[in-house]
Chains A and B, each alone.
Chain A
Amino acid sequence: MTENNVLVQVLCLRKYFPLGGGLFGGKTGLVKAVDGISFEIRRGETLGLVGESGCGKSTTGRAILQLHKPTSGQVFFEDTDLTRLSAEELRRLRPKMQMIFQDPYASLNPRHSVGKIVGEPLVIHKVMRKGSQELEDRVAELLELVGMDPSYVRRFPHEFSGGQRQRIGIARALSLNPSFIVCDEPISALDVSIQAQVVNLMQDLQQQLGLTYLLIAHDLSMVKHVSHRIAVMYLGKIMELADRNALFDNPLHPYTQSLNSAVPLPVPRLERQRRRFILKGDPPSPAFPPSGCVFHTRCPLAIEKCVAVEPEPSDPYPGHTVVCHLADQSGRSKIPELGGRAEK
């Protein structure tokens, strides 16, 4: 909004899904999928959004793109508040923000040819006419850009492997020259051998085209590899947000630390020596979130205050935001098993 290098600013975004319903039944509850999160995405960066499944990562991505209408909060894209736009105004802004989907098998219409899939956004926004030479050239160019043979335009999605399908999905997302792309677990459905290819492709494209990514993922090592900054989500809230290195070298939130300790190290000697901290139990239901700090039910360091009072975001280091009562520079929020100096 104010600063020029911020592309997307999310302010106190909430998305609640009503439970129950039916013809006669009233609402029986609310699932607080995303509960008041704020962050910004800078131009040209990759912001990683990580967390367990069901913590609201994907909902956040969709709520930013207004594919799920947010319950409350604001999303500024450049200087426009997306939540206040009419459907038609939003439609006209859509070319600038696109999405890459998790499941490359479900995200391509099985009845449409590759050419039609990749060219569809261009036709929708009347950039080019259906069947025009211009459109064919652009589709061929896009396929080449994502490393596919342009002669595949007449083929159908089921003729391709998962990695190739994901490339088609990326080509489709790029067709309108977007500046911002939400990548919803773009590689989690792919074979490990293909994952690296797609990740590298995404990074190359980012440099080539100056793209800004919101990368939603649960694979920490992948996020670490490609993100500039990382936000850690738990039960609809952001727990910690910091530069990649700060988050991995000096994680302040106990949740981040436990996630971090689960990432395998590539060096066997270090891997043998390191200590892990595995969280016990499952995350609570987002329909009935715990009182105070939502993480207190699983936090090894929780104190009475955590049960009663919801922590506010604080910045113990510049650019390093954490939501924890214990987090400060003293290291009170470090889990001792992992080598932190806790004094509990």
Chain B
Amino acid sequence: MATENTRPQDSADTLLDVERTFTDRLAYAGRFLWRDRSGVVGLVLFLIVVLAAVFAPQLSHYDPLEQNLRDNKMPPAWSEGGSWDHPFGTDNLGRDNFARILYGARVSLTVGFFGVLIAGGLGMVVGAIAGYVGGRFDDVIMALVNLVLSLPYLLFVVFIASVLGRSLLNVILIFGITDSPIFARVARGEVLRMRRSGYVESAISAGARWPRVLFDHIMPNLIGPLITLATFEMSRMIFYEAGLGFLGLSVPPSVPSWGNMLAAGRKYLTSSPWIAAFPGLAIMFTSLGMNLLGDWLRDVLDPRLRRARK
């Protein structure tokens, strides 16, 4: 064994050791992260977006909704006619682009986070139970999952948006429901795989009752793949929310969201390209960051891939 004479602290598994203290694990995660530069890039991009969303009022003194038609379509600061007062310029109504990007991050992250929370929570519980109980229950649940997956997603969104109106809550609910089957499938597959693996069977043959089997053996091994999936799905939701915003199906036009900004900037693409370019870049970097982060998480949380990374 390669690890025969290394001390346990140096082993790659320490991230999830129960025995380790929290600071130990944090230090370990840091060291591990540093070894994977694309993970660092992903984390930095993600943190920038989070900080932008949290500290939006402090980072820009402009109200994202305040119109100032005299200063409309001002180019960004570094090009001719721009001013550092509006670093990313202004849009067709003279609203500060920088402030709108910052506040737009709030919408994107809210949709992404709560959408994934609903989808993940719902999918994990349903999928894990289906996989664990099996039989008729599993058949019914899986049929339901396939039903939801077969719904034409865009049509569903148009339908909900026109019936219930355009609001942040509706967008979150739509994403939460339409995305939960993916979590359910992954959770079910993992549980099925684990049920056949020896350690679950050995726990049962040792006399473990179902709560121990579920919470001690199955759940901890389920968290890794689901966190990874959640990162990718969150990036996807942010992407799709922008897409819906562009089509005018997401939050109301008054809310500064990246999708809405893209839609508004489309008309001025040739004359004032910065109006659409900045929200576009914001979407791109957020998505890229989360995908890199997800890649890294997948490798860190899976003990089998972890060794290869070293």
Contacts and interface: CB of A to CB of B under 8 A. Distances in A.
Contacts of A319: none
B153 to A, nearest CB: 23
Interface in B206-232: 206-209, 212, 217, 220-221
Interface stretch (A94-102, A263-271, A304-312): A94-102
Interface in B131-149: 139-140, 142-143
A124 interface: yes
B205 A99 contact: yes
A125 B208 CA distance: 8
Contacts of A109: 199, 203, 217, 221
A126 to B, nearest CB: 10
Given A95-B207, A155-B8, A113 B199 contact: no
Interface of A is mostly: loop
A172 B4 CA distance: 22
A113 B19 contact: yes
Q: Max chain A CB contacts within 10 Å: which of B3, B140, B202, B304?
A: B202
A248 interface: no
Contacts of A21: 139
Contacts of B140: 23
Given A22-B139, A95-B207, A120-B203, A113 B198 contact: no
Interface of B is mostly: helix
Interface residues of B, number: 33
B197 interface: yes
Given A124-B212, A156-B11, A107 B197 contact: yes
A159 interface: yes
A14 B11 CA distance: 47
B66 to A, nearest CB: 53
A111 B203 contact: no
Interface string B296-309: 00000001100100
Interface string A75-105: 0000000000000000110110011011100
A110 B201 contact: no
Contacts of A91: 207, 209
Interface residues of A, number: 38
B308 to A, nearest CB: 12
Contacts of B139: 21-23
A102 B196 CA distance: 12
Contacts of A154: 8, 19
A94 B205 contact: yes
Nearest to A103: B198
Q: Max chain B CB contacts within 10 Å: which of A22, A95, A155, A156?
A: A156
A67 B201 contact: yes
A111 B221 contact: yes
A65 B221 contact: no
Interface in A301-340: none
A272 to B, nearest CB: 40
A176 B244 CA distance: 60
Interface in A40-60: none
B71 interface: no
B155 interface: no
Contacts of A17: none
B206 A106 contact: no
A121 interface: yes
Given A109-B221, A110-B221, A158 B303 contact: yes
Interface in A129-180: 154-156, 158-161, 164, 169, 172, 176
A98 B198 contact: no
A313 B16 CA distance: 55
A108 interface: yes
A116 B143 CA distance: 39
Interface in B167-219: 197-199, 201-209, 212, 217
Given A103-B198, A159-B3, A172 B8 contact: no
B17 interface: yes
A106 B17 contact: no
Contacts of B163: none
A106 B196 CA distance: 9
A159 B17 CA distance: 14
Interface string B1-27: 101100010010100111100000000
Contact of A158 (B199, B207, B307): B307
A98 B197 contact: no
Contacts of A155: 8, 11
Given A103-B198, A109-B217, A98 B206 contact: yes
Nearest to B302: A110
A169 B307 CA distance: 23
Nearest to B206: A121
Nearest to B139: A23
4 smallest beta-carbon distances between A and B, as pairs: A107-B198, A94-B207, A121-B206, A109-B199
Interface of A: 21-23, 65, 67, 91-92, 94-95, 98-99, 101-103, 106-113, 116, 120-121, 124-125, 154-156, 158-161, 164, 169, 172, 176
29 contacts: A21-B139, A22-B139, A23-B139, A91-B207, A92-B207, A94-B205, A94-B207, A99-B205, A101-B198, A101-B201, A103-B198, A106-B199, A107-B197, A107-B199, A109-B199, A109-B203, A109-B221, A110-B304, A112-B199, A113-B19, A120-B203, A124-B203, A125-B206, A155-B11, A158-B13, A158-B307, A159-B3, A161-B1, A169-B202
Given A124-B212, A156-B17, 20 more contacts: A21-B139, A91-B207, A92-B207, A99-B201, A99-B202, A106-B199, A107-B197, A107-B199, A110-B304, A111-B221, A111-B303, A112-B199, A113-B18, A120-B208, A124-B203, A124-B206, A125-B207, A155-B8, A169-B202, A172-B202
